[in-house]
Amino acid sequence: MVKPATNKWVKILLFIILLTVLNVVARYAYHRFDFTKEKRYTLNQKTKDILSKGTDNIRITVFLDGTLPAAFKRLRNATGDLLNDYQANSGRRIKVVFTDPIAGLPQNEQDTVLKNLYSIGIEPTNLNIKNDAGFAEKMIFPMAIVQSSGRQIAVKLLQNLDVAGNYEDNINNSIQNLEYVFTSAIKKVSTGENPRIGFTEGNGEPSDLYIGDAMRSLSDSYEVGRVNLNIIDKKGLDKLKILFIIKPQQEFTEAVKYKINYFVMNGGRVVWSLDQVSANLDSLQGSGEQLAFNNKLNLDDMLFVYGARVNYNLIADLNCAEIPIAMGTAQRDIQMAPWVYYPVLIPDSSSSLVKNIDGIRSSFVSTVDTIGVRGVKKIYILNSSGYNQVFSAPKVLSLQTIAETPDQRAYIHPPQHAGILLEGTFSSVFLNRQVPEGIIENYGTAASSKKTRMVVLGDGDIFINQVSSRDNSGFPLGFDRYTQRNFGNKALLLNIADYLSSDDNLIDLRNKEVKIRLLDKQLIRAKKTKWQVINLLLPLLVLISFAIFQHYYRKHKYTR
């Protein structure tokens, strides 16, 4: 018979052995139980697939460390949590290092370190931090670098998506985007794949000033540059993955169309962002009236063969953006007024390409239709609201209509389509046709394309940023400088680039949503005293009540 004392030590020994076994198993069999509603701590299956494919070791150096403001501590901790999951799902191939690159260094050494960091794409952010003495400036590095197989890519942790918002909004947007930026970087350093994107020029497209933010936004993940379709050769086209044709103003020659068709036949992806109707707000504000007339781009036959048509009309929508209007005789009183020809387009949530994207700011938009083409799948991605009218061009536009109250009954119509995604095998526009004059290279004459994709938008301004009249600098894409409002234009651009650049796209990662549940600051201020009194007195009352109960209970118990 086992003595009680011996039995006790046996149980303790078994408990210690059980704990040891659990720790050993947990070291090699990692699992996290995610009870959050949006599954913020669960890696997407695409991320797991990419991590499982690689064999080389990966080193991730995060430069966001040291003494940080509260918001950036949250970003740092979220980054650490995510990378722990990456390590567990990669078979421990990933090594993660957190460091503050300038901590404790004298000024002369800091300058050398900063120069070296700039050379690899690591840029600091300067913050004004409030302290007892007032405000102090601190330099932090919300960036990381991913290294593998002799390649490295800089990663921006702070996205700065919300220009008009505060750090809390920016930090939340950045946390939502962490899985995308790290998975995308790991995929690129592991495979060596870095797609090239070309923004066309040579046909009256906007200058770099107006598409600068679009190009900068894409350059974080792609090689981006301008492409002159009039002079580019076959070798140059073969290096490209995506062509962005943004707001051309001049007619396309048959030779340029031939090059575009070759690019599509070879599996290239194209984004058509076209103005079929010429109208300009600056001209309209100068004269008060303007005739909106048809543009002659010579692209209708090409789009028709591919399965799309951008119509010669304009959508007027009561769900619209506002424009500044000079009021009064002196024309100095500037007021904001809704302008029905600047529709806020609604992304179709059924498509993963535009899921969870805010409204898209547009101007002078035309409707887009599909053509029945075998082998091509059509998906509508952008629509107007159900309060719209469609006017055929040419049409006289007048700012006087702003002062008139629109008849809402005249605007009740089914939503109009303003953007579509085409996927599949496209027929050649130049099949059984002579090679156009000016083509001197042998491009080949394929009857149909490789499986590919393209996007057709009925507005040329969707990817154009506003420009400051003071210093001629560009604003972020999608930011309205007049209303200080952010629209979803940049998110649309990034999603389209991701979707078109790879069949194994990572859009689901970019659409990840992490809800931030902050306390209501106004409610806190209004009921601050009430809750302070409750938190101070309630524990004391509970303690006193317990003491009184214990006193009478003991008195009752021992006097019986």
Residue of 233, 257, 267 lying closest to 452 (CA atoms): 267
Domain boundary among 130, 165, 185: 185
Residue of 222, 221, 140 lying closest to 181 (CA atoms): 221
Task: Please list the pLDDT of the chain residue by residue as tens digits (560 residues).
Answer: 555 666 778 888 888 888 888 777 766 666 666 666 656 667 878 888 888 887 788 999 999 888 888 888 888 999 998 998 888 888 778 999 999 888 888 888 888 888 888 888 788 887 766 665 666 677 888 889 999 888 888 888 887 544 444 566 778 878 888 888 898 888 888 877 788 999 999 999 999 999 999 999 898 778 999 999 999 999 999 999 999 999 999 999 999 999 999 999 999 999 999 999 999 888 887 777 889 999 999 999 999 999 999 999 999 999 999 988 876 555 567 788 899 999 999 999 888 888 878 899 999 999 999 998 999 999 999 999 999 999 998 999 988 888 788 888 899 999 999 999 999 999 999 988 999 998 999 988 789 999 999 999 999 999 999 998 888 888 999 999 888 888 999 989 989 998 998 876 777 777 666 555 556 667 777 788 888 888 888 888 988 988 898 888 888 777 76
Please check whether residue 473 is in contact with residue 489, taking contact to mean a CB–CB distance below 8 angstroms: no
Tell me 428's DSSP state: P
Residues 6+ apart with CB under 8 A from 408: 318, 387
512 within a domain of the structure (yes/no): no
- Residue 207 and residue 147 in one domain: no
- Residue 238 and residue 371 in one domain: yes
What CATH number is attached to the domain comprising 155? 3.40.30.10
Which residues lie across from 127 on neighbouring strands?
A: 138
User: What 3-state class would DSSP assign to 397?
Assistant: strand
Residue of 363, 453, 381, 369 lying closest to 419 (CA atoms): 381
Look at the block and give the residue holding tokens 């953007």.
419
Rounded Cα gap, residues 558 and 548, in angstroms: 16
Residue of 181, 179, 148, 186 lying closest to 58 (CA atoms): 148
What does the pLDDT read at residue 38? 59
Look at the block and give the residue holding tokens 């690689």.
54
Please check whether residue 257 is in contact with residue 304, taking contact to mean a CB–CB distance below 8 angstroms: no
What does the pLDDT read at residue 163? 46
- Residue 291 and residue 423 in one domain: yes
Rounded Cα gap, residues 74 and 61, in angstroms: 18
SS (H, E, C) 222-252: CEEEEEECCCCCHHHHHCCCEEEEECCCCCC
Rounded Cα gap, residues 192 and 184, in angstroms: 11
Residue of 313, 263, 315 lying closest to 454 (CA atoms): 263
Please check whether residue 486 is in contact with residue 513, taking contact to mean a CB–CB distance below 8 angstroms: no
- Residue 375 and residue 496 in one domain: yes
Helices (H) and strands (E) in the chain, counts: 14, 25
Cα dihedral across residues 488, 490, 493, 494: positive or negative: negative
Which residues lie across from 224 on neighbouring strands?
A: 197
- Residue 463 and residue 366 in one domain: yes
Looking at the structure of the chain, the number of domains it has is 4
Q: What is the pLDDT of residues 87-120, one digit of tens each?
A: 888 877 899 999 988 888 888 888 888 888 888 8
Residue of 214, 183, 215 lying closest to 505 (CA atoms): 183
Rounded Cα gap, residues 215 and 67, in angstroms: 34
Residue of 336, 315, 309 lying closest to 385 (CA atoms): 315
- Residue 10 and residue 64 in one domain: no
- Residue 151 and residue 56 in one domain: yes
240 within a domain of the structure (yes/no): yes
514 within a domain of the structure (yes/no): no
Tell me 408's DSSP state: G
- Residue 371 and residue 475 in one domain: yes
User: What 3-state class would DSSP assign to 510?
Assistant: helix
- Residue 212 and residue 325 in one domain: yes
- Residue 387 and residue 405 in one domain: yes
511 within a domain of the structure (yes/no): no
Q: How far is CA 198 from the centre of its chain?
A: 19
Domain boundary among 165, 185, 205: 185
Cα dihedral across residues 129, 132, 134, 139: positive or negative: negative
Please check whether residue 506 is in contact with residue 46, taking contact to mean a CB–CB distance below 8 angstroms: yes
DSSP H/E element including 236: helix 234-238
Domain boundary among 158, 185, 212: 185
**DSSP secondary structure string for all residues of 151-171:** EEEEEES-----SSS-HHHHH
- Residue 137 and residue 179 in one domain: yes
Give the residue numbers spanning the domain of 431.
195-501
Please check whether residue 213 is in contact with residue 462, taking contact to mean a CB–CB distance below 8 angstroms: no
Radius of gyration over alpha carbons of the chain, in Å? 30
Please check whether residue 64 is in contact with residue 75, taking contact to mean a CB–CB distance below 8 angstroms: yes
Please check whether residue 237 is in contact with residue 255, taking contact to mean a CB–CB distance below 8 angstroms: no
Please check whether residue 449 is in contact with residue 428, taking contact to mean a CB–CB distance below 8 angstroms: yes
506 within a domain of the structure (yes/no): no
Rounded Cα gap, residues 352 and 437, in angstroms: 42
Which residues lie across from 368 on neighbouring strands?
A: 310
316 within a domain of the structure (yes/no): yes
User: What 3-state class would DSSP assign to 521?
Assistant: helix
Please check whether residue 64 is in contact with residue 147, taking contact to mean a CB–CB distance below 8 angstroms: no
- Residue 180 and residue 199 in one domain: no
What CATH number is attached to the domain comprising 479? 3.40.50
